[in-house]
Amino acid sequence: MGLEAAVEVAAEFLNKAVKPVLVGGPKLRVAKASDAFVELADSSGYVFATMPSAKGMVPEHHPQFIGTYWGAVSTAFCAEIVESADAYLFAGPIFNDYSSVGYSLLLKQEKAIIVQPDRVVIANGPAFGCVSMKDFLKALTKRLKHNNAAYENYHRIFIPDGKPLKSAPKEPLRVNVMFQHIQQMLSSETAVIAETGDSWFNCQKLKLPEGCR
């Protein structure tokens, strides 16, 4: 009963939105809902991003993936799309001072659906307990109208990344050059482990190939 009610309210909320988006959080893993999250994006046409600690949990080669949502330090053009949306569904988020860049995210509760592994909260309104995230996302997939408005907006403003200049012989190694080499080393059999700090920020810029974590 709770699942059906949560899906009903969420579908009505999202289907009224003009440019809704999806954002995946780290609890996608514990809920085993990464595939259901991507299926929802495929069916709905919504663009999707991930929070920094969820990097690698969804395929970054997907055409609707727009990068890491991390407030002021998001992937280029990602924050603009997420924060200008009139509805956003966060699946498995953790909001703390680090993931929210000192609680500076420009999000509004009345626009948000927060889906946790066993609970769904819709805007300022109802909360539904004992609802599996995986089941909720799968059921919601069948109820959403296709809407790619945010996708179109993203591609109107998107500018591809430039490439760093090659280093001169004996020139000190630059961070952007080093990460260009790291990017070329990544494969489907690679896992990237980044420490908190500068390395985590720089690793968010890596584009993980399919299968890379």
- Quick one: three-class SS letters along the chain? CHHHHHHHHHHHHHHCCCCCEEEECCHHHHHCCHHHHHHHHHHHCCCEEECHHHCCCCCCCCCCEEEECCHHHCCCCHHHHHHHCCCEEEECCCCCCCCCCCCCCCCCHHHEEEEECCEEEECCCCEEECCCHHHHHHHHHCCCCCCCHHHHHHHHHCCCCCCCCCCCCCCCCCHHHHHHHHHHHCCCCCCCCCCCCHHHHHHCCCCCCCCCC
pLDDT for the residue 180: 81
Residue type, 196: T
pLDDT in tens, 90-147: 999 999 888 888 888 889 999 999 999 999 999 998 999 999 999 999 999 999 999 9
- Is residue 12 within 8 Å of residue 115, measured between CB atoms? no
pLDDT for the residue 203: 81
pLDDT for the residue 164: 66
Hey, what CATH class is 2-157 in? alpha beta
pLDDT for the residue 24: 98
- Is residue 177 within 8 Å of residue 164, measured between CB atoms? yes
pLDDT in tens, 7-37: 999 999 999 999 999 999 999 999 999 999 9
Mean pLDDT, residues 41-57: 96
pTM confidence score: 0.86
pLDDT category of residue 165 using cuts at 50, 70 and 90: low
pLDDT for the residue 200: 75
pLDDT for the residue 62: 95
Burial class (CB in 10 A: 0-12, 13-18, 19+), 191: exposed
pLDDT for the residue 57: 94
Q: How far apart are CA 98 and CA 115, in angstroms?
A: 20
Percent of the chain past pLDDT 70, that is, above it, reads: 98
pLDDT for the residue 53: 92
Strand partners, 46: none
pLDDT in tens, 52-94: 999 999 999 999 999 999 998 899 899 999 999 999 999 999 9
- Is residue 49 within 8 Å of residue 71, measured between CB atoms? no
**Is 162's pLDDT higher than 70?**
no
Q: How far apart are CA 192 and CA 195, in angstroms?
A: 10
Q: How far apart are CA 86 and CA 199, in angstroms?
A: 33
> Domain segments of the chain: what residues?
2-157, 162-213
